[in-house]
Amino acid sequence: MRRFLIVTNRTKDTDLSVTKKIENYLKERKAICDIYDAPEEIPKELIADDLDCAIVLGGDGTILHAITPLVYYNIPILGVNMGTVGFLASVELEDLEKALLALLEGRYEYDDRIMLEGTVYRNGKQIFKAAGVNDIAISRSGFSRIIRFCIWLNGELVDSYGADGVVIATPTGSTGYNLSAGGPVVSPCSDVLIITPISPHSLTSRSIVVSGNETIALQVERIGQNDMEAAFITIDGQHGTRLKEKDRIEIKRANVKTRLLKVDRTGFFEVLRSKMGGRKL
């Protein structure tokens, strides 16, 4: 690899000291570097045809924000963790130079992750569409009562729920909102989707794990009676829109994948133990 885009989060790297360290290290070894440090989406002119890799500094939120413009150009991402947990960031600051050297010498592996695509239809017309690598959440606002909705799988009714919402997660997103809602942790190499109700008003509602080839449909049956009560769909916590009663949401595996880079052989469960067990959050 010889051409890099460094995407940094100024709330994490306030003085750009880590960003400049990476830039200097790579340029001293004859690599080409561009830096992007704005909160807006990465402009297309920075995604050059010969761009080999995006090095993203921050937490998972920063990486999720960077994925949106990069995934459609098949640009691999190396995440450098400057956040709290950072499941998508495979490199800790103390291992930074070793990771950069591995990139320059071609000692890395691709780690492709499936993505979800969510489409909202209102009165039969598409009003919203976006893709994410972690999850799609349908949830109520802070003032709302529980949402009532139905879920179908390939046209077959799964169940109707009264809950704070529901999260549909990929294996990558199983350690995020899904886990907080009581859903299972799934190995990121699995080809499955996870449906987890959020605080369901039921003694029997549990997570459901389905094949990654399935199409999930959800219809909002009831939200509330006034403007203070609302429901929203959010994708990776980055994109979303407000929902109305009878809106129909279709969720399926996207036709693109997020390509992460691994520069060591640390396994998923070792990372899980380290980040969720041995480290204080």
| 0.95 exceeded by pTM | no
60 touches 87 (CB < 8 A): yes
Strand pairing partners for 197? 166
- Residue 224 has what pLDDT? 63
The reply to whether 201 sits in an annotated binding site is no
Residue 269 φ/ψ, nearest 5 degrees: -75, -25
The reply to whether 279 sits in an annotated binding site is no
Give the pLDDT confidence of 209-251 residue by residue, as tens digits: 999 999 999 998 877 655 556 889 999 988 899 998 899 999 9
Q: Tokens 């709330």 sit at which residue?
A: 11
Set 15, 37, 60, 191: catalytic member: 60
- Residue 210 has what pLDDT? 96
- Angle of the 17-28 helix axis to the 96-104 helix axis, nearest 10: 30
Give me the tens of pLDDT residue by residue for the chain, a chain 281 residues long: 899 999 999 999 999 999 999 999 999 999 999 999 987 788 888 887 889 999 999 888 889 988 888 998 999 999 998 877 778 888 989 999 999 999 999 999 999 999 999 999 999 999 999 999 999 999 987 666 788 899 999 999 999 988 999 999 999 999 999 999 999 999 998 999 999 999 988 877 889 999 999 999 999 887 765 555 688 999 998 889 999 889 999 999 999 999 999 998 777 777 777 766 654 44
What's the rounded Cα separation, in Å, for the pair 194 and 212?
A: 9
The reply to whether 238 sits in an annotated binding site is yes
Strand order in the sheet with 231-235: 208-211, 192-198, 165-169, 135-140, 231-235, 239-243
Told to judge if 60 belongs to the known catalytic residues of this protein, a careful annotator would answer: yes
The reply to whether 61 sits in an annotated binding site is yes
The reply to whether 224 sits in an annotated binding site is no
- Residue 142 has what pLDDT? 67
What's the rounded Cα separation, in Å, for the pair 58 and 60?
A: 7
The reply to whether 145 sits in an annotated binding site is yes
Residue 239: CA count within 13 A, CB half-sphere: 23
Around Cβ 131, how many Cβ atoms within 10 Å?
22
Token representation of residue 130 = 């976006």
